[in-house]
Amino acid sequence: MKEKEKQIYRMPKFLLLSSLCLVLTFVATSSLLVSLSVWGILQRNELPNAVASVHLENVTVDINETQKESLAQYILDNFVKDDRITAEQIEKILQSGDFTQWAGWMVSKYSDYLANHGEKTTFPELNEEDIVALIEENADLIYQETGLHFLEPDKEKLTDTLKAPIEEIDQHLNHSLNTGAGGMMTKFFLSWQFWTVSGILLIVLLIWEITIHKRGDKRTGSALQAYSIAGALPCLLFFLAGTCSVLLLHLADMPFLEDAVKAIRGTLTAVGGIGMLVSIALFVAGMTANLVSAQLRTEAGETIATEYDPLDNGILPTEETAKDPLLETVPPSVMESEGNARTCQAGEAPLPPAPVKLSKDSPQQKNNIPKPILRKYCRFCGKPLTMENALFCGCCGKSQIKPQPIKKAP
């Protein structure tokens, strides 16, 4: 039954279970890295700085799958109802930087709420009055670019226009970050409880991978190496995101995100780098385990092949074992140890031992049934046996079975 189970683990079942375990390791490691990265960004207040660093004049909005337009044009088409204002004027207003600073200030409120798990602050809410007040603060800039004054009727009209979309955004953020299943999952995802569960899951997956390799007749070191590679891949992605993201954004023609990524790349690099160090340590441990295992197997093979003294075999000469009853039944041709020894030394094939027959009624057969020991070399002279598990050595003629004391009848 055990042989069949080993055969199954050696075949596609081993590959399937091992691949499943490694995929789960990749997913669990990625989730843990994302949680730690977001928590670090919130604690270090990097997200508001990242948002405040975005160049709004370079932001594009997807209209559909094939068309894009600038943020200035999107604002003009959806929120501005005055034909005297152009997209170029809105773009110059966005370049002033006041709007990105206001966006960073709003994001900082959500960042503080999530960093404290909602214990010290209340959930922030957007309202259209804040946006109207922002525009009113930049009235001079708007007049300079457009030649228009931001009057009271304009404020009322803009307030009515923004009311519906702002309420929709508020409801979505409240459901995702504060109340409902989304809020609970977000708070749990950024808590130490999630990190504890992820750590326990990764330990269980490591034990499972080692068990799969053991049942598949593989080395434990190979399991550690495979597990470390699966965990190193997401760590490498995070490390590259922190070190090479600016270059990738430049190549992808997304310059408006370069300054934003610069604000958070330190956390991504640190989290990915620590994960890489842990993965490298596991890989080295697996390599060391494989080397030690190979060395032990080599030494065991050399020990078997080396000639040794009978006392090293654990057989001490006692009164009961000094006189071997089985050797008395060996024919003289086999007991001619001197001739057989000379034959072995000359390199010729040793003489095969003659069969030994014991009577069914003999005390040796009834009371002293020896258990064979699996051997390839003689336990007395160390010469190779003629046949594997042979009962007698063809060179010295001695029995390879350790006799047991004969029980005396009461």
**Residue 70: helix, strand or coil by DSSP?**
strand
Q: How far apart are CA 155 and CA 368, in angstroms?
A: 110
Q: What percent of the chain is helix, strand and coil (3-state, nearest 5)?
A: 65, 0, 30
**Residue 116: helix, strand or coil by DSSP?**
coil
Q: How far apart are CA 141 and CA 274, in angstroms?
A: 47
Neighbours of 208 (CB within 10 A): 18
Neighbours of 16 (CB within 10 A): 11
pLDDT tens for the chain, 410 residues long, are 444 444 456 667 888 899 999 999 999 999 999 999 988 888 887 777 777 777 777 777 777 777 778 888 887 877 776 777 888 888 877 777 577 778 788 888 888 888 776 666 778 888 888 888 888 888 888 788 777 777 788 788 878 888 888 888 888 888 888 877 777 888 888 889 999 999 999 999 999 999 988 888 788 889 999 999 999 999 999 999 888 877 776 666 666 566 677 778 888 899 999 999 999 999 999 999 888 888 877 766 555 555 444 444 444 445 554 454 544 444 554 444 444 444 445 455 555 555 555 555 555 554 555 444 456 677 777 777 766 667 777 777 777 776 665 555 55
Q: How far is CA 401 from CA 337, 340, 360, 385, in A?
A: 18, 20, 19, 13
Residues in the chain: 410
pTM score, two decimals?
0.62
CB-CB contact of 261 with 249 (8 Å)? yes
pLDDT of amino acid 251? 66
Taking CA 332 as the corner, what is the angle to CA 330 and CA 333, rounded to the nearest 5 degrees?
105
Contacts made by residues 308-315, CB under 8 angstroms, sequence distance 24+: 308/382, 310/379, 310/380, 313/379, 313/380, 315/379, 315/402
pLDDT of amino acid 111? 82
Q: How far apart are CA 258 and CA 248, in angstroms?
A: 9
Q: How far apart are CA 206 and CA 281, in angstroms?
A: 14
Q: How far apart are CA 208 and CA 17, in angstroms?
A: 9
- Extract the runs of DSSP E, i.e. beta strands, from 67-224: 68-70
Domain boundaries, the chain: 2-295, 311-410
pLDDT of amino acid 225? 93
The alpha carbon of residue 80 and the mean position of all alpha carbons in its chain are separated, in whole angstroms, by 52
